[in-house]
Structures are given as structure tokens and as C-alpha cells.
Amino acid sequence: MQYRRLGRAGLQVSELSLGSWVTYHNQVDTKAATEMLAAAFDAGVNFFDNAEVYAQGESEVVMGQAFKALGWNRLDYIVSSKFFWGLARDGVTVNRKDTLNRKYLMQAVDASLKRFQLEHLDLIYCHRPDPHTPIEETVWAMSDIIRQGKALYWGTSEWSAADIRAAWDIAERHHLHKPVVEQPQYHLFHRRRVEQEYARLYDDIGLGLTTWSPLASGLLTGKYRSGIPAGSRAALESMAWLRDNVQDKAKNDAVAKLAEIAAELGCDTAQLAIAWANRNPRVSSVILGASRLEQLKHNLGALAVTPKLTAEVVERIDAITKPLAG
């Protein structure tokens, strides 16, 4: 495992990291989470991603209990959480949901720390942009949370380049803590934002990236090539919205072609896809999800694939996937 700086920031994150999306609490209990965190840590993973909204706060509870059980030195792991969606309750949504206003952020981070049983988060993200709150208000709130010692760094997730730059500029002008990282979706079929929209931000403001969905919701594993298998994520009723995309014919055909390249390299398409995201030097860390220990170990195997992605191999991969990519 190698470690990369979070963009220009001095924080070093493992090139592959572990996220708890859709799995913790729902599919993964504290015991299983503890085992997976331990395995990831032993493999060199030091960055663990979470969000308030995952399992409605329960994902943070599970991860916090796992940290407690594992008893690692606090310097050795980086915990993040993300805020925006809020915790829907009794249908109340005002100042609770889809917002980055000061009231929500202040109270949400406090509640998150309690769920985690931690004194600080290393990294907090604005989970989405909020067009209804001035960026200045959000920058002040994030900076004040850092000033209060409740977090160490902050960033954004799925913000436009223009909004990220605006946040950075406001922080520079008002002497506040600046955003250091963006967490975008990034995989073979979704690459325009990372490669084009953000292009100037890497050098201009030193933006780092932690990327999600390296497997395109499972599409890149090839498991949807013959429909929706029972037990897969897309088979869940709550994930029905995924089905159209993961069954896209052209993309599944592309995955079949990728499988040939993967076979040549001695891996499968999941490992190939993770290695491909990891090979981008602008990416600080590729966040993996996992509902089972074997799956996690398998995906960590992508580390061995990255060095095999020569310019020529990447060109072949691009020829297959780029025409289908957003």
C-alpha cells in the first residue's frame, strides 16, 4: 500500500481506502465491520470514509464501535464523515435535510462525534452543494468547526469546480480554513469531472481527490452482464433505481471486453477498474465498499494490478470505455 497526500495538504492517505456506504448496519454488523476494518488496516488502509446519512447515522455508530474494539493509536487512522442529506425524521426536513447552513452543520457534526464516540473527525465533507445557502456561510461554518477542534480538514463532495474555487477564495480572503479535497464519483464510465472540469484546480488550489464508486455500482464487476442476480445490490428493492444503469447493454458489452484485458493481467474487471482509478496521480485515495471480508481482500488485490497498467494497456481500456463515459 502506498500513501498519497490529500492534494496539497500534508495528510497522507492510503491509495485504497474503505467506505461504509450501504453496507454498515444494514448488511454489516459491528463484528463484521471490525473484522473488515482490521483486515484493511493490516493491509495498510488508513482512511475510513463514512457519512451521517449512511444507514441514518447507524453506519457511524457501527464504525465507532469497531474503532473502540480495535483500539488503534488515533494518529494511525483517518476518519471522515459527510454532511448534507441530514437524518429524515417524522417527515421534518427544514434545516435538517439537503442543507449546508450553519445551524445544520454545527449540530450535525456534534451529533456525529457522539455517534462515533470520537473527539474529532479528521476530515469532514459537504456531501453535496447546497444552492440555498451562500458558500460563504458554509465556509465559515466548516472553518469554525475546525477552529473548535472538532475536525482537522474539510472538503466537498460532488461540487462543481466553480463552487470549489469560490469556497477556496472566500477562505483565502477571510483567513479561514480552506477546503483541501473533493470526493467525486470516478470510474471508467464517469470521468469527465475529474479529468476535465477540475483540471485547473489541482495546481491552482492544490485540490485532492478521494473517489467513490470505482466499480460503477457493481457494473464493472461484470455481475450484471446477464441480468440482475439474486442477492446483488441492484436486486434490493431500495436500490431499484440502480437497475437501468447497471443493465446498460453497451456498458456490459464493454465490461466483457475489459474482462479479456483483465485476464491477460491475471485479474478480474473489478480489480482492473480499481487499479485504473488508482493509477490517476490526481486521485489521493480510491474508496472501496465491501459487504464481505473476502470481497474486500479481493478488491485490495487491485494494488498488484496498478503497476501493470502501462500506457499501452490504458490506451486499450480507454478505447473500449471512453466512448461510453460521462
Active site residues: 54
Please report where in the chains the cell 457494473 appears, as a residue: 219
Nearest CB to a copy of itself, comparing residues 119 and 244: 119
Q: How far apart are CA 189 and CA 138, in angstroms?
A: 31
Nearest CB to a copy of itself, comparing residues 100 and 201: 100
Sign of CA dihedral 148, 151, 154, 159: negative
Please state, in angstroms and as integers, the Cα–Cα distance from residue 252 to each residue in 220, 248, 277, following that order: 8, 6, 19
Nearest CB to a copy of itself, comparing residues 12 and 160: 12
Show the cell assigned to 162.
466553480
Nearest CB to a copy of itself, comparing residues 43 and 106: 106
Instruction: Give residue 302's identity as a one-letter amino acid code.
Output: A
Element (H, E) at 19: strand 16-19
Please state, in angstroms and as integers, the Cα–Cα distance from residue 188 to each residue in 169, 243, 296, following that order: 31, 18, 20
For residue 266, the minimal CB distance to a copy of itself (Å) is 28
For residue 13, the minimal CB distance to a copy of itself (Å) is 9
For residue 38, the minimal CB distance to a copy of itself (Å) is 14
SS3 assignment, position 66 = helix
For residue 267, the minimal CB distance to a copy of itself (Å) is 26
**Residue ranges binding a copy of itself (CB under 8 A):** 3, 5, 8-12, 14, 46, 73-76, 78, 86, 89, 92, 94-96, 99-104, 106-108, 122, 130, 132-134, 137-138, 140, 144, 147-149, 152-153, 174-177, 206
Q: How far apart are CA 209 and CA 215, in angstroms?
A: 17
Which residues share a beta bridge with 286?
Answer: 16, 211
Nearest CB to a copy of itself, comparing residues 185 and 285: 285
For residue 110, the minimal CB distance to a copy of itself (Å) is 10
Nearest CB to a copy of itself, comparing residues 54 and 153: 153
Element (H, E) at 137: helix 135-147
For residue 79, the minimal CB distance to a copy of itself (Å) is 11
Among residues 33, 67, 7, 35, which one has the least CA distance to residue 211?
7
| Region of residue 91 (phi > 0: left; psi between -120 and 50: alpha; otherwise: beta) | left
Contact between residue 303 and residue 22 where contact means Cβ atoms under 8 Å apart: no
